[in-house]
């Protein structure tokens, strides 16, 4: 009992408990409330078609082979569908939350192992590993966007970050067999998630490490050949089965097209040069507020501080080299960079601690900026009282009271517990996400066009009596969200019919602005393309 009281008297323990209690409500509240968005529909649709057809080898979209992504994520999503017996929005997005928690745990363990245990004298801050993990979890892009979407990128980034850590961890112990085996095994998993990018990051990371440690001859060793064999067995086993059904020529061509279409080959030199300039600023913006710590990179002694710690040096090196493909690619979304952010935050938080130990004036400016954000969060907690759209929410006053009182208390802690300000700040951000879940997400149901797509599609399936529906020629185009809701409700794969005899007993999804065949309209369905509309019809 005495030990428990001692722990509870520790500010760090109290803040960890608070963060732990807030974590799941922050990530799960209203997770399935909004309709699926864009690529979420692809992931769910392909998994459902695997389930309906029983074909686990060939990913298909609307009955046609889908070449853009390998099947591993679809298998994982299909497994969850079968375990839960559900295919709704919450279940589609749940893997992202689970992979995010696994990713955050991996960051914590990696930083703890290499900064606290091995280099304890270099990083005396007891929460270095916790802060790095929380910085990734609570950066703006993760907290208010990617953690709420059922996409591949979180799982893929987790695997690739793990590969970076395996290369460093095993390389520092001269265990090259384990290094190459572990790295190539993770690259194989990454390849089955997102194809060629996994090999690109593997090659760059291996070159970076062995050139850095001046052991590049290891790249021509038997251990390296063994790692390649592991990759070949894992990836080759699947594609051997795939080739028996479909061949590989079309698949390989699309794989390379998917990688090339984001580069200057597709977009030209002018846009590429502009992107080279804007990319760093866009990245800092998307991953605020923790990227404010990047001010430490402009100090004269920054290179000396980074070089003084091997793990920090590795994070900086692998960040700079593996981010280059995206820096040089015009069509890049922030979610592609999720594997790089833990590397950046590890370096920035290390620099923050070093500058704090040295008592530099820059620390006061940084912590002052974070305190201003905390005050802004406190002011935002009262906004629902004055906005009509928010004021209609149930339990308005208890929710506002919780947010305002908790944030005010944490601001007091921020000012009082100087050694733990970054941890306090992370907890404040979790409270902000809970408020977002309570007020912003329900408000979006009425204004987000994806919800109109869902609403009209479900209304159409009610009128159809959950009968199957056929796509009339090219009416649907590439609208996976619409396809997801039709497939989910009917339990049937939507297929396209281009010509031949049209069955008058079936329902067809028709673009009546493009096709004029005589028909009877049963229902109207909204689609995302140009905020358009399709008709559910019976062909006359």
pLDDT band at 162 (very low <50, low <70, confident <90, very high): very high
Nearest alpha-carbon partner for 162 in 293, 27, 339, 12: 339
Domain ranges of the chain: 88-357, 360-445, 451-539
pLDDT band at 244 (very low <50, low <70, confident <90, very high): confident
Checking if the pLDDT of 87 tops 70, the result is yes
Distance CA 298, CA 330 (A): 26
More confident residue, 366 or 125: 366
The answer to whether 328 and 269 are in contact (CB under 8 A) is no
Checking if the pLDDT of 479 tops 80, the result is yes
Distance CA 139, CA 480 (A): 29
* Packing angle, helices 197-212 and 310-322, rounded to 10: 140
Distance CA 491, CA 503 (A): 19
pLDDT recorded at residue 120: 38
Distance CA 365, CA 374 (A): 14
465 upstream amide cis, omega within 30 of 0 = no
Checking if the pLDDT of 262 tops 60, the result is no
| Interacting residues of 534 by C-beta distance below 8 A, sequence separation 6+ | 475, 476, 482, 509, 510, 511, 512, 524, 525, 527
| Residue 211 CA neighbour count, 13 Å, CB half | 9
Checking if the pLDDT of 260 tops 60, the result is no
The answer to whether 350 and 296 are in contact (CB under 8 A) is no
Checking if the pLDDT of 240 tops 80, the result is yes
pLDDT band at 447 (very low <50, low <70, confident <90, very high): confident
For range 179-185, the mean pLDDT: 97
pLDDT band at 368 (very low <50, low <70, confident <90, very high): very high
488-521: b or e for each residue (b if 16 or more CB lie within 10 Å)? Answer: bbbeebbeeeeeeeeeeeebbbbbbeeeeeebee
pLDDT digits (tens, 9 = 90+) for 382-437: 999 998 888 778 889 999 999 999 999 999 999 999 888 999 999 999 999 999 99
Contacts of range 4-11, beta carbons closer than 8 Å, 24 or more positions apart = 11/413, 11/417, 11/419, 11/420
| Interacting residues of 168 by C-beta distance below 8 A, sequence separation 6+ | 114, 209, 311, 314, 318
Q: 3-state class of 537 per DSSP? A: strand
pLDDT recorded at residue 286: 95
| Interacting residues of 245 by C-beta distance below 8 A, sequence separation 6+ | 57, 58
Checking if the pLDDT of 117 tops 50, the result is no
More confident residue, 328 or 166: 166
pLDDT recorded at residue 431: 97
Q: Is the dihedral of CA 186, 188, 194, 196 positive or negative?
A: positive
Checking if the pLDDT of 272 tops 90, the result is no
pLDDT digits (tens, 9 = 90+) for 27-67: 999 999 999 988 999 999 999 999 999 999 999 999 898 88
Distance CA 147, CA 397 (A): 27
pLDDT recorded at residue 390: 82
- SS3 of 30-87: the string is CCCCCCCCCHHHHHHHHHHHHHHHCCCCCCEECCEECCCCCCHHHHHHHHHHHHHCCC
Q: How many helices (H) and strands (E) does the chain have?
A: 24, 7
Secondary element (H or E) of residue 293: none
Percent of the chain with pLDDT over 70: 93
The answer to whether 283 and 178 are in contact (CB under 8 A) is no
Query: For the residues of 457-505, what is the DSSP string, one character each?
Result: HHHHHHHHTT--EEEETTSS-S-HHHHHHHHHHH-S---EE-SSPPPTT
pLDDT recorded at residue 269: 67
CA distances from 3 to 6, 8, 417 (A): 5, 9, 21
pLDDT recorded at residue 8: 52
The answer to whether 347 and 320 are in contact (CB under 8 A) is no
pLDDT recorded at residue 40: 95
For range 359-375, the mean pLDDT: 94
The DSSP call for residue 109 is H
* Packing angle, helices 341-358 and 128-138, rounded to 10: 130
60, two tokens: 């298909």
pLDDT recorded at residue 501: 76
Secondary element (H or E) of residue 386: none
pLDDT recorded at residue 121: 41
Distance CA 263, CA 272 (A): 7
| Interacting residues of 271 by C-beta distance below 8 A, sequence separation 6+ | 264, 330
CA distances from 234 to 179, 189, 190, 223, 501 (A): 17, 8, 11, 17, 45
Percent of the chain with pLDDT over 90: 69
185, two tokens: 């095994």
Phi-psi region of 523 (alpha: psi -120 to 50; beta: other; left: phi over 0): beta
Checking if the pLDDT of 119 tops 50, the result is no
pLDDT band at 124 (very low <50, low <70, confident <90, very high): very low
Angle at the Cα of 135 from the Cα atoms of 134 and 140, rounded to 5 degrees: 115
Pairing of β 469-472 and β 496-497: parallel
For range 444-463, the mean pLDDT: 91
| Interacting residues of 423 by C-beta distance below 8 A, sequence separation 6+ | 12, 15, 16, 19, 127, 130, 131, 134
Across all residues in the chain, what is the average pLDDT?
A: 90
């Amino acid at each position: 009992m005495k030990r428990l009281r001692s722990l509870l008297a520790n500010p760090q323990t109290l803040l960890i408990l608070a963060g732990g209690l807030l974590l799941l409500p922050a990530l799960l509240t209203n997770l399935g409330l909004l309709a699926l968005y864009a690529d979420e529909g692809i992931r769910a649709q392909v998994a459902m078609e695997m389930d309906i057809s029983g074909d686990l080898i060939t990913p298909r979209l609307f009955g046609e082979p889908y070449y853009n992504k390998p099947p591993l994520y679809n298998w994982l999503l299909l497994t969850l569908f079968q375990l839960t017996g559900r295919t709704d929005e919450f279940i589609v997005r749940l893997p992202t939350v689970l992979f995010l928690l696994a990713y955050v745990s991996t960051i914590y363990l990696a930083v703890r192992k290499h900064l606290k245990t091995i280099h304890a004298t270099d990083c005396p801050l007891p929460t270095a590993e916790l802060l790095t993990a929380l910085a990734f979890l609570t950066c703006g892009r993760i907290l208010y966007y990617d953690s709420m979407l059922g996409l591949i990128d979180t799982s893929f980034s987790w695997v690739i970050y793990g590969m970076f850590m395996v290369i460093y961890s095993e390389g520092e112990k001269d265990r090259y067999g384990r290094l190459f085996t572990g790295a190539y095994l993770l690259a194989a998993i990454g390849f089955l998630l997102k194809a060629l990018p996994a090999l690109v990051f593997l090659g760059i990371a291996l070159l970076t490490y062995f050139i850095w440690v001046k052991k590049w001859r290891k790249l021509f060793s038997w251990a390296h050949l063994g790692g390649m064999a592991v990759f070949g067995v894992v990836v080759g086993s699947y594609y051997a089965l795939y080739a028996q059904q479909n061949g590989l020529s079309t698949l390989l061509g699309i794989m390379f097209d998917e990688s090339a279409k984001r580069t200057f080959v597709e977009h030209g030199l002018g846009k590429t040069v502009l992107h080279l300039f804007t990319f760093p600023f866009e990245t800092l913006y998307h991953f605020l507020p923790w990227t404010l710590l990047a001010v430490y990179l402009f100090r004269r002694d920054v290179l000396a501080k980074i070089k003084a710690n091997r793990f920090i040096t590795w994070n900086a090196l692998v960040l700079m080299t593996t981010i280059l493909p995206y820096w040089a690619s015009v069509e890049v979304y922030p979610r592609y960079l999720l594997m790089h952010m833990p590397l950046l935050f590890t370096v920035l938080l290390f620099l923050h601690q070093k500058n704090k130990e040295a008592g530099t004036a820059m620390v006061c400016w940084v912590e002052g900026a974070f305190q201003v954000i905390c005050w802004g969060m406190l002011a935002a907690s009262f906004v629902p009282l004055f906005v009509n759209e928010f004021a209609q929410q149930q339990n308005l006053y208890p929710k506002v009271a919780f947010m305002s009182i908790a944030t005010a208390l944490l601001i007091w802690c921020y000012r009082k517990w100087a050694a733990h300000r970054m941890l306090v700040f992370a907890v404040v951000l979790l409270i902000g996400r809970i408020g977002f879940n309570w007020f912003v997400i329900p408000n979006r149901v009425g204004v987000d066009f994806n919800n109109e797509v869902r609403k009209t599609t479900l209304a159409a399936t009610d009128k159809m009596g959950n009968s199957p529906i056929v796509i009339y020629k090219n009416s649907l185009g590439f609208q996976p969200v619409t396809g997801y809701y039709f497939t989910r409700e009917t339990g049937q794969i939507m297929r396209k019919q281009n010509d031949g005899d049209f069955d008058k007993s079936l329902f067809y999804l028709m673009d009546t602005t493009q096709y004029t065949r005589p028909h009877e309209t049963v229902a109207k369905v909204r689609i995302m393309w140009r905020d358009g509309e399709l008709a559910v019809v019976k062909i006359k």
